[in-house]
Amino acid sequence: MTVTALKGFKDILPDEVHVWQRIERIARDIFHRFGFAEIKVPVLEKTELFVRSIGEATDIVEKEMYTFVDRNGASVTMRPEGTASVLRAFIEHGLHAKQPVNRLYTIGPMFRHERPQKGRLRQFHQLSVEVVGTDKPSVDAELMAMAWLLLQELGLSVSLQINSLGCPQCRPVFKEKLVGFLEGLGSGLCADCERRRHTNPLRVLDCKSEHCQQHYRQAPVILEHLCAGCADHFRATTDGLVSLGIPYAVNAFMVRGLDYYTRTTFELLTDALGAQSAVGAGGRYDGLVQQLGGPDLPGIGFAMGVERLVLLSSQQEAVASGNEPELFLVALGEAALATGLRLVHGLRSCGLRVAMDHEGRSLKSQMKQADKLRARRTLIIGDNELAAGAGLLKDMLVGSQETLPLPGEVAAWSAALASRFRQEQ
């Protein structure tokens, strides 16, 4: 019996890897344009890190973490998200002492034991960015504009929803009102809301059940309970979005699944993946660095799910990988194969992407192979052509063909051909 991958853990096969590479390349380029530096953090952390940051009463900590006891008896967890680890590293290495505001990004796998479905996996990948050391609302707008630009450059259209969750001054007042409202509802909520109204009342508000949502129509609205500081911050954030030309909608019922958020929260949503789902989400976490034992520094960030970006990208026209061969060498016959191998090596040494067939297949099947690989050109050499000192060069893009003289030494042809192809790019 063969051993298969775990449920919710996916192989990324060669024919889709280029979509991943394109997304990462564009993301890195944009992050660098906005002054972010990459940080790489471990996938395994002490469990306590996530309990203290994401929050004990969240779905992630309660039921989704891959937690186990290691050989030393310590409780460790496969990271379910990137923010906690990045902030742990930020504090541990005193990055705040090096510059007042740090802009960091990380790309890598995260682990959540969720029910797998389209765009929802147990090992998934995030592009995760954090700005630590400023609470300026213009940074909130700038960060959302960066997420927007990234999606635009990927050719994806999504909608941006934003909200404010207030701060430790105003949120408890709102929470108390909400708890009072929820108590007044009696029974009849879904099982999750029944549980959450005691453990994490804010989370009931983004319950997906239409039945529960009907009950919440009259619920108190957080945006009407913000203190003056949070209300000003929210206004300045939305003003910033307007001035940068980023379209958004306010969703006062958006509460995030992680407890560390304060003030601005946002989600980038699409309905192209079945039920409406987030391709990215984030928000401000002004108390979190201190809560994790670091200095009292504000922060904000977001993460995008790479699998969801890949799914959306794949729904568009096929994207060329950019790694297609610049030349496919079709060698026909023993002598041509031997010379061809040397020519291909010469061209590759000159920096060209070159493919060839070693199996001595027919002309037709080698041309088919070149087509499948989307090779830009083919060079056909047979024993007869070699004897005559020439090959047949076909430009697969333009559709033209020419007889290519191949005089003298193979090394000389390689250099001449490589420089010609470079000029034609």
The footprint of ligand HAM on residues 234-273 (CB under 6 A) is: 257-258
Side-chain half-sphere CA neighbours of 70 within 13 A = 10
Token pair for 257? 């699944």
Minimum distance, C-beta of residue 126 to ligand HAM, in the bound complex (Å):
5
List 281, 289, 347, 375, residue binding ligand HAM (CB under 6 A) = 281
Site stretch for ligand HAM (CB under 6 A), options 75-83, 211-219, 220-228, 392-400: 75-83
- Is 45 one of the binding residues for ligand HAM (CB under 6 A)? no
Between CA 107 and CA 127 the distance in angstroms is 5
Give the burial class of 253: count Cβ atoms within 10 A of its Cβ; 0-12 exposed, 13-18 middle, 19 or more buried: middle
Q: Which of 308, 311, 285 is nearest to 298 (CA)?
A: 285
Residue among 308, 376, 377, 394 that touches ligand HAM (CB under 6 A): 308
The count of other CB atoms within 10 Å of the CB of residue 185 is 16
228 backbone dihedrals φ, ψ, rounded to 5°: -60, -40
Closer by beta carbon to ligand HAM, 278 or else 380: 278
* Residue 140 binds ligand HAM, judged by CB under 6 A: no
- Interhelix angle for 14-33 vs 137-153, to 10°? 150
Binding residue count for ligand HAM, defined by CB under 6 A? 27
Is 333 a binder of ligand HAM (CB under 6 A)? no
Contact, 77 vs 66, CB < 8 A?
yes
Judged by CB under 6 A, the residue of 279, 337, 396, 404 near ligand HAM is 279
The two tokens of residue 42 are: 């471990």
**Closer by beta carbon to ligand HAM, 140 or else 385:** 140
- Which is nearer to ligand HAM, 89 or 410 (by Cβ)? 89
Does residue 357 sit in helix, strand or coil?
A: coil
Does 55 bind ligand HAM (CB under 6 A)? Our answer is no
Q: Is 262 helix (H, G, I), strand (E, B) or coil?
A: strand
Q: Which stretch binds ligand HAM (CB under 6 A): 28-36, 135-143, 186-194, 296-304?
A: 296-304
Q: Does 283 bind ligand HAM (CB under 6 A)?
A: yes
User: Does residue 112 interact with ligand HAM by CB under 6 A?
Assistant: yes
Q: Is 114 in the site for ligand HAM (CB under 6 A)?
A: yes
d(CA 155, CA 152): 5
Token output for 326: 């610049």
- In angstroms, give the least distance from the CB of 80 to ligand HAM: 7
By the rule CB under 6 A, 326 interacts with ligand HAM: no
C-alpha to C-alpha distance for 69 and 57, rounded to whole angstroms:
21
Binding residue (CB under 6 A) for ligand HAM from 31, 41, 78, 81 = 81
Q: From the CB of 279, what's the least distance to ligand HAM, in Å?
A: 5
Cα–Cα distances in Å, from 78 out to 124, 196, 308, 406? 12, 25, 21, 58
Q: Report the interface residues with ligand HAM, using CB under 6 A.
A: 81-83, 112, 114, 119-121, 124, 126, 128, 130, 257-258, 278-283, 301-305, 307-308
